[in-house]
Amino acid sequence: MSIQLFDLTGKRALITGSSQGIGYALAKGLAEAGAEIILNGRDVVKLKAAAESLGAKNTLAFDATDHATVRNAIDTFEAELGAIDILVNNAGMQHRAPLEDFAADAFERILKTNISSVFNVGQAAARHMIKRGAGKIINIASVQTALARPGIAPYTATKGAVANLTKGMATDWAKYGLQCNALAPGYFDTPLNAALVSDTAFSAWLEKRTPAGRWGKVEELVGACIFLSSNASSFVNGHVLYVDGGITASL
């Protein structure tokens, strides 16, 4: 199989929530594979710093939970600067609390951030991809797509929804030449997991629970993202690809 199947030269990729963490790492990896990257975030200062660090020419500062704003931003970009060939729906958040004490406003916020954003940006980008008869959408799911853990039931619900929305995207849009898949990270050392990384007891449990015996490094997600973004995955659709050190494979 030719390495050219994984070459993203000439492709343009929008990565939501890419000013830090997993989104930043994926943007960096896609750029190294040849793609022109578009960074997204709500914090303009952090977004500018990330763009300077990665040498990204384009940024889109929008709130992925705002449907009208998202559609306007993507429609304007497509009209003025050209096609978005690849979308990585990475924007997300975490909120930890016992389910019996979970605040209703926090529940609504996590739903909007983790699942409404995938619908909003996915739909806006897909409308253009459908017209061109080609496009790649990669939604960031989680090990919690398949597994639950105490204190994060709403997060688990949103990531399960991401997987099923991904399947729905594939079912509706594969006929138009789109490939819609999900990338499901296990436990990675990111700002979102900072509280867990600094918890020595949790880290010890995780190392014992994960067959690989350690936290993941964000760079280890890049290969899977390039695969799902490239011609190498031309007949992969509606799939959830776990990159988790084996945690979902083992009791």
Residue 168, pLDDT above cutoff 70:
yes
3-state secondary structure the chain: CCHHHHCCCCCEEEECCCCCHHHHHHHHHHHHCCCEEEEECCCHHHHHHHHHHHCCCEEECCCCCCHHHHHHHHHHHHHHCCCCCEEEECCCCCCCCCHHHCCHHHHHHHHHHHHHHHHHHHHHHHHHHHHHCCEEEEEECCHHHCCCCCCCHHHHHHHHHHHHHHHHHHHHHHHHCEEEEEEEECCECCHHHHHHHCCHHHHHHHHHHCCCCCCECHHHHHHHHHHHHCHHHCCCCCCEEEECCCHHHCC
Q: Which two tokens stand for residue 215?
A: 């936290």
Tens-digit pLDDT profile for residues 178-205: 999 999 999 999 887 888 999 999 999 9
State the average pLDDT over residues 217-231. 98
Model confidence at 76: pLDDT above 60: yes
Band of pLDDT at residue 159, cut at 50, 70 and 90? very high
Residue 48, pLDDT above cutoff 60? yes
What is the share, in percent, of the chain residues with pLDDT greater than 70?
Answer: 100
Tens digits of per-residue pLDDT, 14-37?
999 999 999 999 999 999 999 999
Average model confidence (pLDDT) across the chain: 97
CA 63/CA 40 separation, integer angstroms? 9
Q: How confident is the model at residue 1 (pLDDT cuts 50, 70, 90)?
A: low
Percent of the chain having pLDDT more than 90?
95
Mean pLDDT of 85-104: 97
**What's the confidence (pLDDT) of residue 163?**
98
Whether the predicted pLDDT of 68 surpasses 60: yes
Q: Tell the residue number behind the tokens 């995780």, with chain if given.
A: 206
Cite the active site residues. 155
What is the per-residue pLDDT for 192? 77
Structural domains present in the chain: 3-249 (3.40.50.720)
C-alpha 226/C-alpha 224 separation (Å) is 5
